[in-house]
Amino acid sequence: MHFLDQAKIFVRSGTGGPGAVGFRREKFIEYGGPDGGDGGKGGDIVFEAVPGLNTLIDFRYTQHFRAQRGKGGSGSNKTGGGGDDLVIQVPVGTQVLAEDKETVLLDFTRAGQREVFLRGGDGGRGNASYKTSTNRAPRQHGTGWPGAEAWVWLRLKLLADVGLVGLPNAGKSTFINAVTNAQAKVGAYAFTTTRPQLGVVSHKMREFVIADIPGLIEGAAEGAGIGDRFLGHIERCRVLLHLVDANDADVAESYRIVRDELENYGAGLTDKRVIVVLNKIDTLDDELIAALSAELEEASGAPVIPMSGASGVGVDWVLDQLIELMDPENKQVEDSDEGEDPIEWSPI
């Protein structure tokens, strides 16, 4: 199944049905009188967040959505039937944006959330409702109120607890494959990940969701590489896991490049709690690991965890720290935020 996180669609609610013009023609009813019923209400456009969806690919092939119009009224004061509401199912995490792609109209953050976006038009009045003491046989009627219509953008922001960030080839896909049931593509070249990946981690009786996004390079905010469009998928993450390749020529510079792109993107990404990991240490000796960790810690101002996603060294340590950071009542997390008890690495 292809991944699509943005789509533009057209939506229109139903028009109200017309009122009827009718007169009673019944035996023993003297003079009769108007009995035209009102028209039915048009259907609403409704968005609903449903579980089990993680892409907007369906909206690439169906882009126009129109709710049913109301039925017309009839004689004997019968009101027309209302049009059926049109329910558009979207993945949890979807935002409905105005045509300018900036104004958020609806935001779906939980499964089962249901919102009426466009209300259908009311039905027109039948001639019975126009009857007065001076107008005993009215022939006017309402044609029904028109529905509303709009072009909107759907934007999907995956919901995850932890977001993976780093340069291309930092080992993010290897890590998510090692700790979850995801099957992210792994290769010895940059940008093997071209779309976000989700995986569920089960560790020490806890479960949480990790999101892996394509790697960032310098200038991503201006469109370099794949750009920064996928950063929206980690806006709602509680913790960021920043992986740095220990084989990079300058691990401190690798860290700063990604942090600068996060800052340029905004949305509070640089304010999130972060765990910095020196990855791919399986090919290095202990002395070099300690030196690179110290260099990276100086650049980031945060404790650094050495790890190898391929061999599994340090992976459990990283997962332990993620669980602690996601638990706001954990005292050890509070202590680490104050700079006490920094993480110290020792050979494993």
Per DSSP, helices labelled H in 194-330 are: 251-265, 286-300, 315-326
Q: Is 309 annotated as a binding residue?
A: yes
Q: Is 348 annotated as a binding residue?
A: no
Pairing label, strands 114-118, 64-66? unpaired
DSSP string, 227-244: -SGGGGGGTT-SEEEEEE
Q: Is 167 annotated as a binding residue?
A: yes
Q: Is 41 annotated as a binding residue?
A: no
Q: Is 135 annotated as a binding residue?
A: no
Q: Is 282 annotated as a binding residue?
A: yes
Q: Is 169 annotated as a binding residue?
A: yes
Q: Is 8 annotated as a binding residue?
A: no
Q: Is 257 annotated as a binding residue?
A: no
Q: Are 204 and 320 in contact (CB under 8 A)?
A: yes
Q: Which amino acid is at 284?
A: L
Q: Three-class SS of residue 275?
A: strand
Distance (Å) of CA 56 to CA 112, 201, 332: 17, 25, 40
Look at the block and give the residue holding tokens 């959505």: 65
Q: Is 187 annotated as a binding residue?
A: no
Q: Is 228 annotated as a binding residue?
A: no
Q: Is 281 annotated as a binding residue?
A: yes
Backbone angles phi, psi at 234, to 5 degrees: -115, 10
Report the C-alpha gap between 253 and 57 in whole angstroms: 37
Report the C-alpha gap between 151 and 61 in whole angstroms: 16
Report the C-alpha gap between 281 and 154 in whole angstroms: 41
Q: Is 166 annotated as a binding residue?
A: yes
Report the C-alpha gap between 275 and 168 in whole angstroms: 18
Q: Is 303 annotated as a binding residue?
A: no
> The sheet that has 114-118: what strands, in order across it?
86-91, 45-50, 114-118
Q: Is 173 annotated as a binding residue?
A: yes
Q: Is 172 annotated as a binding residue?
A: yes
Q: Is 310 annotated as a binding residue?
A: yes
Q: Is 184 annotated as a binding residue?
A: no
Q: Is 170 annotated as a binding residue?
A: yes
Q: Is 27 annotated as a binding residue?
A: no
* Binding site per annotation, positions for Mg(2+): 173, 193
* Binding site per annotation, positions: 166-173, 193, 212-215, 279-282, 308-310
* Binding site per annotation, positions for GTP: 166-173, 212-215, 279-282, 308-310
